[in-house]
Amino acid sequence: MRFENTADYALRLDQEDPLRHYREEFHFPQVKGKDVIYFTGNSLGLQPKSAQRFVDDIMKDWRELAVEGHFYAEKPWWDYHERLAPALARIVGARIREVSVMNTLTVNLHLLMVSFYRPHGKRYKILCEEKAFPSDQYMLQSQLKFHGYDPGEALIEVRKRPGEHHWRTEDILQAIESHRGELALVLMGGVNYYNGQVLDMAAITKAGKAAGAMVGWDLAHAAGNVHLALHDWEVDFASWCSYKYMNSGPGNASGIFVHEKHQADPDIPRFEGWWGTKRETRFLMQPRFDPIESADAWQVSNPPVLALAPYLASLELFEQAGMDALIAKRDRIVAYLEFVLGEVDRQVESTFEIITPPGARGCQLSVFLHGEGRPLFDYLMQNGVITDWREPNVIRLAPAPFYCSYTDMYRFGEILKQGILERTGA
């Protein structure tokens, strides 16, 4: 496909975009009286306009029904979380009984490691990617220490090759192979937060299982962004936050996946609470834990219903649009963004380097701005482009297909060009 870097051409792409109306379903921040160009849906998704109504409904039921809302609200609270499962299952490629919502991401990974990190004998090591998201590093290190291991020895971090900005699948598979027999767990980020790389989750899961390890995925940057087939890939467990591509609101509840095959195991270790016990007997307040035969068995407490409300609002939009359509637009808008960057690069003789590897991209392009610094980033922000900056000089651009337009990409290119020209005095 040949693109053009003109306003007319971008508008034509917008007119052909079957998802263009979804832009109207979200609130945009304003800079200088105009909607911003929002590139940080990978960090905090925009607010769906319907979210307010979903929250208001809970507030109203609480006001008018108080405790009776648990059973008599229009959407009763005691099983409110179950309303989210069908959409989540479709988004992550799972059976409905394999997903649940609870807590927040890092907390959930810790809880899932109670079940799926079970070191014994020589098999105690954990494999992850180097420079994993800091929370994941702290989590893995503290889990290892909790079990009496030295993270320096027991945590295997797969490196990128010198001079390269991405991981090679063959290197990851090789690392798994060379530690086979010692690996208790492979736990990685499905989409890397820094370079935007989508790892080959199917191949890595297969290799991890073949090496006798459990395999889990942190899907913070993957859920709602890339194709996932957790059930078919035979992933053991996974978790994701909902406030990035899933647009559920700051710090909001996380989702989990536990493969069906683990749910029948009566001896699986797990930290338990009353919301994981069978719904039929939950309110009999019996002393014995009787697990729900679904991922809900991992729920500990009764869920924060007020928080689930905007998450449910957002999932309705995912159900309407469908992941296939979102992914199709994502690929096209990311390709157009890459084209626009290339045009700007040529016109101002700058040197952008896209470090997100072709063939392993989701919604995000991470761009090294050689010779450009923080002032350019500040210029973008002041001119209505919301992006983020990672040291040393990488900007991450994630044009979320739900609400970003091709015209946004064109306008971004013009602002970027102007910013570079103004500061180089050309």
105 touches ligand PLP by CB under 6 A: yes
220 touches ligand PLP by CB under 6 A: yes
- Residue from the set 116, 117, 167, 193 that interacts with ligand PLP by CB under 6 A: 193
111 touches ligand PLP by CB under 6 A: no
Contacting range for ligand PLP; rule: CB under 6 A; set: 11-19, 46-54, 98-106, 368-376: 98-106
Residue 134 annotated as binding site: yes
Choice between 239 and 350, CB closer to ligand PLP = 239
Choice between 47 and 239, CB closer to ligand PLP = 239
54 touches ligand PLP by CB under 6 A: no
User: How far is C-alpha 329 from the chain's CA centre?
Assistant: 18
Residue 136 annotated as binding site: yes
**Token digits for 137?**
């590093």
167 touches ligand PLP by CB under 6 A: no
Residue 233 annotated as binding site: no
Site string for ligand PLP, 303-342 (x = CB under 6 A): ----------------------------------------
The strands making up 351-354's β-sheet, listed across from edge to edge, are 351-354, 365-370, 394-397, 388-390
CA–CA distances in Å: residue 139 to residues 69, 132, 159, 242: 37, 11, 19, 19
Name all contacts of 322-328 with Cβ < 8 Å and 24+ positions apart. Answer: 323/90, 323/91, 323/224, 323/227, 325/18, 325/19, 326/19, 326/224, 326/401, 326/402, 327/226, 327/227, 327/401
136 touches ligand PLP by CB under 6 A: yes
- Residue from the set 41, 48, 119, 189 that interacts with ligand PLP by CB under 6 A: 189
104 touches ligand PLP by CB under 6 A: yes
CB 415 to ligand PLP: min, Å? 27
Between CA 346 and CA 266 the distance in angstroms is: 62
CB 42 to ligand PLP: min, Å? 8
Residue 3 annotated as binding site: no
CB 102 to ligand PLP: min, Å? 12
218 touches ligand PLP by CB under 6 A: yes
CA–CA distances in Å: residue 153 to residues 148, 149, 174, 216: 12, 8, 18, 20
406 touches ligand PLP by CB under 6 A: no
Residue ranges in contact with ligand PLP by CB under 6 A: 104-106, 133, 135-136, 189, 193, 218, 220-221, 241
Residues annotated in a binding site: 105-106, 133-136, 218, 221, 243, 274, 302
